[in-house]
């Protein structure tokens, strides 16, 4: 049986020779990613990473204080790291306030102010619905998703037209009618990384508390969107923390049955690497 792991949302996208690096969300998975990148940081005397935040719920930002590269600096081995953070504008607090707040004393021993002091470059950028911008040669489009508080999905397009779409934390209002913003975001994607936290029975409360309004999806809705959007590969993501490995594997099999053989369905696991 595949072991899927338990860290929260963090996906790395690397383009070309590795000089363009995007990290989608900063959940607890950011810590092992930092361990993986440590040698490269030392070799290159610094890393340049663009962080695209879907939203600032704890499970999507709580890895940042434990990202080891954050503490290597212009004074320690002349490491020149550059971090660029992109997040929404309509949160009750800004992305900057949320990132700073989780590191302010007494909840964490190293303050954001200290991180700013030792880091070569930190930038914070606002994101809004249908906004487009460039990260190196990659074109980025942001779309607002259906989730409690402001949440964004991202469409990443290479110069030659390859497309990766990230749409964690989104809830269908009707499994038979894909949300137009999500459908447009995922249209023709080579790789669609998307929320599929529940089964339909769990979502509707047949096995316990209903999960309507919690902001997460299930196979029937994912399959309908994947088919209508014409995606090539779907990666099911944001697994429920209460799901066993067997339950996640069952969700994948059910989704594969729903979409048929023309679309590949993968249940994300820690360390999964895909090339498009």
Q: Do 239 and 202 touch, CB atoms closer than 8 A?
A: no
Tens place of pLDDT per residue across the chain (276 aa): 679 999 999 999 999 988 899 999 999 999 999 999 999 999 999 999 999 999 999 999 999 999 999 998 766 667 889 999 999 866 667 778 888 889 988 999 999 999 988 888 999 999 999 999 999 999 999 999 888 778 999 999 999 999 999 999 999 888 888 999 999 999 999 999 999 999 998 988 888 888 887 888 999 999 999 999 999 999 999 999 999 999 999 999 999 999 999 999 999 999 999 999
Q: How many CB atoms lie within 10 A of CB 9?
A: 26
CATH number, span 129-270 = 3.60.15.10
Q: How far is CA 173 from the centre of its chain?
A: 22
Q: Do 189 and 164 touch, CB atoms closer than 8 A?
A: yes
Those residues whose C-beta lies under 8 Å from the C-beta of residue 98, and which sit 6 or more positions away, are: 56, 61, 87, 91
Instruction: Say which CATH topology domain 1-127 has.
Output: Transcription Regulator spoIIAA (3.30.750)
Structure tokens given for 122: 């930190």
Alpha helices in 135-218 (DSSP H): 180-186, 200-203
> The pTM is what?
0.95
**Parallel, antiparallel, or unpaired for β 48-52 and 82-88?**
parallel
What residue ranges of the chain are covered by domains with CATH 3.60.15.10?
129-270
For residue 120, which of 82, 70, 174, 154 has the smallest C-alpha distance? Answer: 82
Residues in the chain: 276
């Amino acid at each position: 049986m595949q072991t899927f792991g338990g860290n929260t949302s963090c996906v790395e996208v690397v383009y070309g020779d590795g000089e363009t690096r995007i990290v989608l969300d900063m959940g607890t998975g950011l810590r092992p990613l930092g361990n993986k990148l440590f040698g490269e940081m030392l070799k290159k005397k610094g890393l340049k990473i663009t962080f695209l935040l879907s939203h600032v719920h704890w499970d999507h930002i709580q890895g940042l204080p434990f990202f080891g590269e954050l503490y290597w600096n212009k004074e320690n081995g002349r490491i020149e790291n550059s971090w660029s953070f992109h997040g929404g504008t309509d949160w009750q607090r800004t992305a900057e306030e949320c990132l700073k707040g989780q590191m302010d004393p007494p909840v964490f021993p190293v303050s954001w102010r200290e991180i700013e002091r030792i880091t070569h470059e930190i930038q914070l950028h606002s994101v809004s619905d249908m906004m487009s911008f460039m990260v190196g040669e990659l074109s980025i489009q942001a779309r607002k998703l259906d989730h409690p508080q402001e949440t964004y999905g991202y469409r990443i397009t290479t110069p030659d037209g390859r497309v990766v779409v990230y749409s964690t934390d989104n809830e269908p209002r009707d499994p038979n009618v894909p949300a137009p913003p999500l459908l447009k975001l995922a249209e023709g994607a080579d790789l669609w990384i998307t929320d599929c936290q529940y089964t339909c029975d769990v979502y509707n409360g047949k096995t316990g508390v209903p999960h309507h309004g919690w902001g997460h999806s299930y196979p029937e809705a994912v399959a309908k969107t994947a088919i209508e959007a014409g995606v090539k590969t779907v990666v099911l993501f944001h697994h429920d923390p209460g799901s066993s490995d067997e339950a996640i594997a069952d969700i994948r099999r059910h989704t594969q049955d729903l979409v048929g053989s023309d679309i590949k369905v993968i249940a994300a696991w820690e360390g999964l690497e895909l090339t498009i």
